[in-house]
């Protein structure tokens, strides 16, 4: 199979991988030349390729999420993963916080940047005709009622411990 290149080091198939989708037989096709394809190209050009150039290999942990998949993993109904505007990723050997702060300080085209639970970075680009919001957030789990954990989003790129203290 011919791989479809998005930028120097990124390929379309990296954004189509999902164990949940495979298990449930969900179609992960992204139409070549379509809007979703264009969104991923912008995501690579404006954020992921610069990160790759600076830090080294990047591992995409979640890219495209068709509605069915998004529902199964309980994603937000307005998730930018639905339209290929967002990706979750890690850079082996570097903390997500370090990488997120580098994006904040060196990339201009990102829309929403989230340091998620100290585990990975979520980053998105705006739709092609919109301005990037350059929002910076940290997601953390707080213990709520009946021992249930609830997710809180705190402004800024901070450690999860600091986010929990600030939100408590």
Site for Zn ion in 34-73 (CB under 5 A): none
CB of 18 to Zn ion, least distance (A): 12
The residues near 51 (Cβ < 8 Å, ≥ 6 apart) are 58, 89, 91, 99, 102, 103, 107
Smallest separation, CB 79 to Zn ion (Å): 7
User: C-beta of 145: minimal distance to Zn ion in Å?
Assistant: 26
User: Residue 29 — left, alpha, or beta (φ > 0 → left; ψ -120 to 50 → alpha)?
Assistant: beta
Q: Which stretch binds Zn ion (CB under 5 A): 28-36, 84-92, 128-136, 160-168?
A: 84-92
The residues in 121-140 that bind Zn ion, with binding defined as CB under 5 A, are 122
Residue closer to Zn ion, measured from CB, 153 or 165 = 153
Residue 88 within binding range of Zn ion, rule CB under 5 A: yes
Q: How far is the CB of 160 from Zn ion (least distance, A)?
A: 16
Task: Give min distance, CB of 15 to Zn ion, in A.
Answer: 12
Name the residue with tokens 């997710």: 151
Q: What are phi and psi of 23, to 5 degrees?
A: -60, -35
- For residue 120, list its beta bridge partners: 116
Mark the segment that binds Zn ion (CB under 5 A) among 33-41, 101-109, 114-122, 126-134.
114-122
3-state secondary structure of 149: strand
Residue placing its CB nearer to Zn ion in the complex, 42 or 122: 122
d(CA 83, CA 31): 12
| CA–CA gap between residue 168 and residue 156 (Å, rounded) | 16
Number of residues engaging Zn ion in binding (CB under 5 A): 2
Burial (CB count within 10 angstroms: exposed 0-12, middle 13-18, buried 19+), residue 131:
exposed
- Region of 21-29, 36-44, 88-96, 135-143 interacting with Zn ion (CB under 5 A): 88-96
φ/ψ (deg, to 5) at 106: -125, -15
Positions that interact with Zn ion (CB under 5 A):
88, 122
């Amino acid at each position: 199979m011919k791989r479809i290149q998005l930028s120097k080091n990124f390929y379309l198939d990296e954004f189509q991988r999902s164990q949940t989708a495979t298990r449930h037989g969900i179609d992960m096709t992204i139409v070549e030349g379509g809007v979703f394809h264009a969104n991923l190209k912008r995501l690579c050009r404006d954020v992921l390729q610069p990160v790759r150039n600076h830090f080294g290999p990047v591992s995409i942990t979640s890219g495209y999420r068709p509605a069915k998949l998004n529902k199964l993993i309980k994603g937000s109904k307005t998730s930018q993963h639905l339209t290929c505007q967002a990706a979750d990723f890690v850079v082996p050997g570097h903390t997500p916080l370090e990488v997120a702060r580098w994006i904040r300080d060196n990339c201009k085209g990102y829309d929403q940047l989230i340091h998620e639970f100290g585990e990975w970075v979520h980053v998105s680009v705006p739709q092609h005709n919109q301005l990037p919001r350059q929002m910076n957030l940290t997601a953390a789990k707080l213990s709520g009622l009946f021992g249930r954990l609830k997710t809180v989003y705190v402004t800024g790129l901070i450690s999860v411990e600091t986010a929990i203290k600030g939100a408590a």
